């Protein structure tokens, strides 16, 4: 069986492990982080967004025990574990810091065969490939692709929409806005931050922010004409992106929605993308495993302009793809 190590045990790392264990995708041969075992075990056992884990969880020096699984734990504050000695096939880096090649390469230098990054690389030179399930995962080359980026949760939500519109109706240009749950990069109280707008309390403000999703989409489709921005809002998880698109053909709303229905039911986007026929609010999609959930009643058309809305659980949906892709890549 392939050996996967988990590096970084924060929001995404813990959520990815919940999914990996629940779906029998993998049990990591090691977990590494900079915090103490007892605290990390407690945070895994009881999650504010997703509830309590169904098995006993404990942390002792050098170990995290989840049910009957005894997983070796390494404090990586000073150095990356010796992945070679552990026989690691793939490191799932969930620190959010391996966005430049030198940081990701450190895992390879310590003996890992490849690395999957839970973030968008700064540039295409900082990774060997940007691979998204349902979009281009089939292009994975085990010989060439050692450092793989899976981009961001927003990129994974937008990419299915872009693919379906491009393939069915052609896409001239697009502008998106994502209404995104607040995250750890923001502050709980008002205080000076590097980004001025982030200086105000995350749970009390709607905060405009930048989005790297447009750049990541262009890593996949170099000729794509798209840009966008984000609004961070006071919800713990659950986000929605609206794409306003100029298409080459002139489809009706019904034709667009039927294309989404078909893609959700069959083909490479099945289980990656879903559709909603009814009228819902954000809690409907919390803990939904799909990367992109099209709100069909919100699809709209005005002249040449098409508007599409896609929900996504920015933690659970993204972490589901990470766990699945990690298991897939490690087996190759």
Q: What is the mean pLDDT of residues 296-308?
A: 97
* Residues acting as catalytic residues: 153
Q: Is 251 helix (H, G, I), strand (E, B) or coil?
A: coil
Per the listing, tokens 């709607």 go with 206
- Does the annotation list 93 as a binding residue? no
Digit-coded pLDDT (tens) for 193-239 = 999 999 999 999 999 999 999 999 999 999 999 999 999 999 999 99
Q: Pick from 9, 57, 4: which is nearest to 33 by CA?
A: 9
Digit-coded pLDDT (tens) for 30-64 = 999 999 999 999 999 999 999 999 999 999 999 99
Q: Pick from 171, 90, 87, 81: which is nearest to 131 by CA?
A: 90
- Does the annotation list 239 as a binding residue? no
Q: Pick from 137, 136, 140, 135: which is nearest to 157 by CA?
A: 135
- Does the annotation list 49 as a binding residue? no
Q: Residue ranges of the domains in the chain?
A: 4-127, 153-314
Q: Which tokens is 303 given?
A: 């002249």
How big is the chain, counted in residues?
332
- Does the annotation list 80 as a binding residue? no
Q: What is the mean pLDDT of residues 243-257?
A: 98
At 275, the pLDDT band (50, 70, 90 cuts) reads very high
CATH architecture, domain 153-314: 2-Layer Sandwich (3.30)
Instruction: Judge whether residue 1 has pLDDT over 80.
Output: no
Continuous segment of H or E residues that includes residue 255: helix 253-265
What secondary structure does DSSP assign to 52-116, as a single string?
A: E-SS-EEEETTEEEETTEEEEEEE-SS----HHHHT-SEEEE-SS-TTSHHHHHHHHHTT-SEEE
Give Cα 26 distance to the centre of its chain. Answer: 18
CATH of 4-127, one of 3.40.50.2000, 3.30.1490.100, 2.60.120.380, 3.40.50.720: 3.40.50.720
């Amino acid at each position: 069986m392939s050996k996967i190590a988990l590096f970084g045990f924060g929001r995404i790392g813990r959520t990815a492990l919940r999914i990996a264990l629940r779906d029998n995708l993998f049990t990591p041969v090691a977990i590494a982080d900079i915090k103490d075992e007892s605290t990390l075990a407690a945070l895994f056992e009881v999650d504010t967004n997703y509830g309590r884990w169904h098995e006993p969880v404990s942390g002792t020096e050098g170990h995290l025990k989840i049910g009957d699984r005894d997983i070796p734990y390494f404090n990586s504050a000073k150095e990356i574990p010796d992945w070679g000695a552990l026989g690691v096939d793939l490191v799932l880096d969930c620190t959010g810091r391996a966005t430049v090649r030198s940081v990701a390469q450190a895992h390879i230098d310590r003996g890992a065969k490849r690395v999957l990054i839970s973030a968008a690389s700064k540039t295409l030179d900082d990774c060997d490939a940007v691979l998204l399930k349902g979009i281009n995962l089939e292009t994975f080359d085990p010989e060439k692709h050692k450092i793989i980026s899976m981009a961001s949760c927003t990129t994974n939500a937008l990419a299915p929409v872009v693919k379906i519109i491009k393939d069915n109706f052609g896409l001239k240009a697009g502008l998106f806005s994502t209404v995104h749950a607040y995250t750890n990069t923001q502050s709980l109280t008002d205080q000076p931050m590097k980004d001025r707008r982030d200086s105000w309390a995350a749970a009390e403000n709607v905060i405009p922010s930048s989005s790297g999703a447009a750049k990541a989409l262009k890593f996949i489709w170099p000729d794509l004409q798209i840009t966008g921005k984000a609004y961070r809002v006071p919800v713990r998880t659950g986000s929605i992106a609206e794409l306003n698109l100029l298409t080459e053909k002139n489809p009706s709303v019904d034709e667009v929605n039927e294309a989404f229905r078909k893609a959700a039911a069959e083909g490479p986007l099945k289980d990656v993308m879903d559709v909603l026929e009814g009228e819902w609010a954000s809690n409907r999609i919390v803990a939904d495993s799909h990367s992109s959930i099209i709100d069909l009643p919100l699809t709209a058309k005005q002249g040449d302009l098409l508007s599409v809305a896609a929900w996504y659980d920015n933690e659970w949906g993204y972490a589901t793809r990470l766990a699945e892709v990690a298991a897939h890549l490690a087996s190759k």
